[in-house]
Structure 1
Amino acid sequence: MTTIGDIGDTGTARSWWTEHSELGVSVLLALTGLLVLGDTLAEGGGGSASDPLGPRTVAFVLGAALLVLAALLTVDVLRGGRGEAEGGEDVDLDTAVDLRTVGMLAGVIVATAALIPLAGWPIAGTVLFAGATYALGSRAVLRDLGIAAAVSLLTWVLFDAVLGVDLPGGPLMGVFG
């Protein structure tokens, strides 16, 4: 069993937390499970005669499953289980994180979240898809905007008209709604 300050395989001192870093995933799973269960309990609405389980059943099962997975992962990590290091063929593990690209993608996601209630999904989705392609290196702006607009409009129509999921249409609501 490794203790704090033991020498690892690479000859460097490793802390207990470094050796058990997968516990962070366990904590994330447990917090997500608790959030799902807490939100489900706070919501009203139970079953009816035609649907005795009600709409909250899936959320309860999901929240409980997340807590069980968190517990199982914690036990596995504490017993010495470790995930395999990334060994992908196309991944250079020595390359630093491109903070510019990550920052641009984060900005695009925040902008999309802010735009959805103001401009609707078709416009916000266009910003999301075109912004992501730009952040990831594409410089064919007009082509990307056209494809992004088509994809976001198609997803809006599919969700709104076909699936019955109400996505905000923004200014297009008067045209298509």
Structure 2
Amino acid sequence: MSISTNIGILGAVGLVGLITFATVEHGQAVKYRKLDAEHRACVAALLPNNIVDPGRLCDPAISNDHAAAVMAKACDDALSAKPENIAAARMVCSTPVKTVVTARDVALGERDAARSDLQAARKDQAAAITRAETRVRTETQRKADAAAALARAPRDADGLVVCDAVCLRQRAGGS
């Protein structure tokens, strides 16, 4: 074989390699452009206020994570609202969050019941104190009246009261 034949064969092999390389590279470029377009469509579907379902355009892992994030945001919004939107929280929050919210609501109810019970007990205590004070004042007044009646009662030479019970009642102003 001559050198010119070898160069011709090498040129042909090089040309075939170059064509193969260009074809593969073109195929990769088309594949990457298609993948880029799919990713852009997925990102657009994930934007807020988009009506396209991300589940149709994105990988399931991405669309599932996005759906969980949207639900978590809705849950946060429902629980952060003033007043709290419990109905919305029960619809969009996860089960663990619902459990915590329910436990909190029960605790708040128990707290309110305890406050009410304490307030009623304080009111009852104040009424009992008022009744006791009135009873003590009445008893003190009766003792003072009885002592005054005894002091006004007639006495004998030894200082002993010579008045019977009827007499003492009359002196005390009773019947």
Normalization by structure 2: what TM-score? 0.22
Larger Rg: 2
Higher helix proportion: 2
Normalization by structure 1: what TM-score? 0.22
